[in-house]
């Protein structure tokens, strides 16, 4: 299948730009850590920056060959997918705001259920099952097994009392 000439590739820069901002935040955040953690953080961040650079070079070559143009039309299309995309942005923002109070497990369950619904999953039974499995897996890995500093909410408090 031949590439469409003059397709809009500007939207392909959105995720790399966000990833670069995340990498900068990540480097600033690990500044005060112990050298072992800082070394691992720099390695992970450097890999991310290299991947961003590869994407940038790929897009630059595509533009130089005239196979695309720097436009953002594809970011908003197809039009019928826009409500789901906006819903996912809203769900992500709600997750970030609510995780502090509801904790990782409960917030992830609600966010996953809402995201699956926004993406078109109609079966309530499947939705709740998938959301419960994802939330339980996150709890098992990040809270029970690794004992990370994830926000603790009612579910985490309930299970910590039973130990």
Give the pLDDT confidence score for residue 118 in this predicted structure: 96
Distance, in Å, from the CA atom of 3 to the CA atom of 25, rounded to the nearest integer, reads: 36
Residue 122 domain-assigned (yes or no): yes
Q: Are residues 124 and 149 in the same domain?
A: yes
Give the pLDDT confidence score for residue 110 in this predicted structure: 98
Structural domain range at position 19: 7-75
Which residues are bridge partners to 8 per DSSP?
69
8 Ramachandran zone, left/alpha/beta (phi>0; psi -120 to 50): beta
Q: Are residues 71 and 98 in the same domain?
A: no
Give the pLDDT confidence score for residue 6 in this predicted structure: 54
Distance, in Å, from the CA atom of 47 to the CA atom of 126, rounded to the nearest integer, reads: 36
Closest CA to 114 of 99, 127, 133: 127
Give the pLDDT confidence score for residue 162 in this predicted structure: 66
Q: Are residues 63 and 109 in the same domain?
A: no
Distance, in Å, from the CA atom of 132 to the CA atom of 134, rounded to the nearest integer, reads: 6
Give the pLDDT confidence score for residue 163 in this predicted structure: 62
Count up the domains in the chain and report the number.
2
CA 93 to chain centre: 11
Distance, in Å, from the CA atom of 11 to the CA atom of 59, rounded to the nearest integer, reads: 11
| Domain end (from 36, 58, 75) | 75
Give the pLDDT confidence score for residue 156 in this predicted structure: 93
Give the pLDDT confidence score for residue 73 in this predicted structure: 77
Distance, in Å, from the CA atom of 30 to the CA atom of 14, rounded to the nearest integer, reads: 24
Residue 2 domain-assigned (yes or no): no
Q: Which residues of the chain are under the pLDDT cut of 50?
A: 1-4
Q: What is the pLDDT of residues 33-66, one digit of tens each?
A: 788 778 888 888 899 999 999 999 999 998 899 8
């Amino acid at each position: 299948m031949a590439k469409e000439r003059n397709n809009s590739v500007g939207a392909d820069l959105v995720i790399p730009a966000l990833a670069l901002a995340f990498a900068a935040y990540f480097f600033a955040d690990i500044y005060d850590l112990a050298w072992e953690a800082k070394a691992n953080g720099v390695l992970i961040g450097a890999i991310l920056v290299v991947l961003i650079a590869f994407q940038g070079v790929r897009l630059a070559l595509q533009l130089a060959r005239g196979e695309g143009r720097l436009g953002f039309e594809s970011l908003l299309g197809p039009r019928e997918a826009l409500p789901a995309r906006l819903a996912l942005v809203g769900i992500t923002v709600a997750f970030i705001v609510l995780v502090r109070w509801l904790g990782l497990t409960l917030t992830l369950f609600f966010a996953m259920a809402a995201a699956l619904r926004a993406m078109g999953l109609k079966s309530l039974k499947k939705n709740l099952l998938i959301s419960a499995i994802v939330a339980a897996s996150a709890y098992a890995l990040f809270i029970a097994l690794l004992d990370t500093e994830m926000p603790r909410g009612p579910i985490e408090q309930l299970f910590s009392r039973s130990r």
